[in-house]
Structure 1
Amino acid sequence: MSLWVLSLPTQQKERLPVQTPPQTTFDAIILAGYDPDRPHPLTQGRGEPHKVLLPVAGRPMIGYVLQALADSGCVTSGVIVGMEPTAGLEFDLPVDYLPNRGSIFANAAAGFQHLAGRQDPRRHALLVSADVPLLTGEMVRWFVNACQPLDKDAYWGIVEKQVLERTFPHSRRTYLRLVEGQFCNGDLFLGRIEAALRQQALIRELVERRKNVLSQLRLLGPRVLLKFLLRRLSMADLIGVADRVLGLQGQPVILPFAEAGMDVDKPHHLAQVEAYLRSRGQQAAGGAAHG
């Protein structure tokens, strides 16, 4: 007797899209370099070429930034660009050091290139300047949370003029006037590693012109410049330009912290920051005395 085996078609499982877990921790690139051919006014006569190693209220400027990143709870390691391990910095997280490349753009590009060589370049990484001593872990964490769900290539922090001037009057920052208000750079950037390495030549030009808004806008085209001159330039316009010109899907993030926009670039900035820290120290001491 022959045995006939009835073979039933196997039901194929529906292939579901692979769910990538949300990224909640980040590597941080810390820009600590300087231009050896153009000494910074704050370093002249001090015997220290690194502006970020100058003391602010008795502590190296960069020390505050490293502490903020460590305190944020969302940074797992750092890449300090523009400084040697012999600098003796205190950082409670694993850290790599890269030599100074001589410009902000070159140092940032080196940091992202370094990360691209050791991890998935589709991940996002944090970029922060080492000359923002009033940055705190809470501010870093707030910014990272505001960027979720990380569906854009790049996020950059900005601070409204009214917010900054309320805490630091007469700071004389560089502001960009938009339909929504006037804003300055917030010194926090979160970008997809592979995206940050695109359009290097154009990004270099934009960074080099960062102190001259009109010069930057000319680089982005006559339509953008005309809208700015007519006071009709909006955040949506800037997002569109980033997509069209740079090939990046980006999103500005309005920071509620004046401190995040207070990078130390001039002597009066240093004086304002030190006065702020002294005031906060006195308030903390007063609160402890009454506790």
Structure 2
Amino acid sequence: MSAGFSAIVLAGRRDGRLDPLAANAGVSHKCLVPVAGKPMLLHVLEALDASPGITRIVVSIDAPDVIAPLIRRLGSGRISVEPSAPNLVDSVFGAANASAPPFLVTTADNVNLTPASVAEILAAAQGADAAAAFARRERVVAAHPDGQRRFYRFRCGDYSNCNAYVLGSREALKAAEVFRGGGQFAKFPMRIVKAFGLLNLIRFRYGLATLDGAFRGFSRRFGLAIRPIRVSDGALAIDVDNERTLHIAETILGERGSALGEPPQEVRLDRAAHRLGDPLLA
């Protein structure tokens, strides 16, 4: 892998549907929903833009114009926008065609991403064709006791995925095909059969393999060196999927701001003030 990574941020609407969080906030896209006082996408872009290992950032979204004011506000010359596809896999392919490997792929709702976590992931991915970030249950619970309710069970412990993936080359993009059905394997175990095979489904269901052992099986299936990355920050496994996790993310971000000696952000703002016409996005 080279020293510089291209970050791909998936921010589009799935199948063109309005997300319930977006509807509640009065915005067109989930990535514009305010979290701790600013659009969730901005949290992710700020973390990536502050990461020395990231040389380019590509945001994949179905309506590029809606985030143009946000990109201008950030004022970074490293961010570009590409139209997304109706599904995750083709969106990744499209963004990858507009940038260069290696790639760090994440999502617009990964608001607890930090430059430190990005550096940890990129360093741990060196030498792998592809990698996926995981956090141990204990670290997730330490970040917030109600932050995550679904975990993958392995012989070495319980883990949650962190919506952060590394693809070391264009050839490794074929590993992204496992998400064509939508991912979310903890919610939909039969997707593992299609993506990884029946044996891996049994191993996942009954916790028969270690995390490393499971990924050795994935490596054999895809003919790639695919590696799990254990992140130290359990908050990375807590993305914003609903009102519950939105409030949890705001709590975590507020606590971290206070720990850094910064004034806590007002997290109970009137959300109507964050509509697309608000000066916040101008």
User: When the two structures are superposed, what TM-score results if normalisation uses the length of structure 2?
Assistant: 0.82
CA separation of 1:200/1:86 partners in 2, compared to 1, >3 Å: closer, same or farther? closer
Contact 2:151 2:158 in 1 (8 A): yes
CA separation of 1:142/1:286 partners in 2, compared to 1, >3 Å: closer, same or farther? closer
The 5-angstrom pairing of residues 258-277 of structure 1 reads 258-277=234-253
2:207 corresponds to 1:231: yes
Question: Which residue is 1:59 aligned to?
Answer: 38
What is the root-mean-square deviation of aligned Cα atoms in Å?
Answer: 2.5
The 5-angstrom pairing of residues 98-247 of structure 1 reads 98-115=82-99, 119=100, 123-148=101-126, 151-198=127-174, 202-205=178-181, 207-212=182-187, 214-219=189-194, 220-247=196-223
Deviations 1:110-169 (A, max 9, x none): 212333xxx5xxx41111111111211111112111222xx2210111111111011211
How much does 1:278 deviate? 2.4
CA–CA separation in structure 1 for the residues paired with 2:89 and 2:219 = 20
CA–CA separation in structure 1 for the residues paired with 2:118 and 2:64 = 25
2:13 corresponds to 1:34: yes
How much does 1:86 deviate? 5.1
Aligned pair count reads 258
Contact 2:8 2:57 in 1 (8 A): yes
Deviations 1:165-209 (A, max 9, x none): 11211223431111111111112211123124326655413x445
The 5-angstrom pairing of residues 13-92 of structure 1 reads 23-82=2-61, 83-85=63-65, 87=67, 88-89=69-70, 90-92=74-76
CA–CA separation in structure 2 for the residues paired with 1:67 and 1:286 = 16
CA separation of 1:101/1:166 partners in 2, compared to 1, >3 Å: closer, same or farther? same
What are the ranges of 5 or more consecutive residues in structure 2 without an aligned counterpart? Answer: 264-282
CA–CA separation in structure 2 for the residues paired with 1:196 and 1:178 = 25
**Worse-matched range after superposition: 273-282 or 176-185:** 273-282
Q: Secondary structure at the match of 1:96?
A: strand
Contact 1:153 1:250 in 2 (8 A): yes
What are the ranges of 5 or more consecutive residues in structure 1 without an aligned counterpart? Answer: 1-21
CA separation of 1:110/1:196 partners in 2, compared to 1, >3 Å: closer, same or farther? farther
CA–CA separation in structure 1 for the residues paired with 2:228 and 2:82 = 28
Q: Secondary structure at the match of 2:103?
A: strand
CA–CA separation in structure 2 for the residues paired with 1:198 and 1:142 = 24
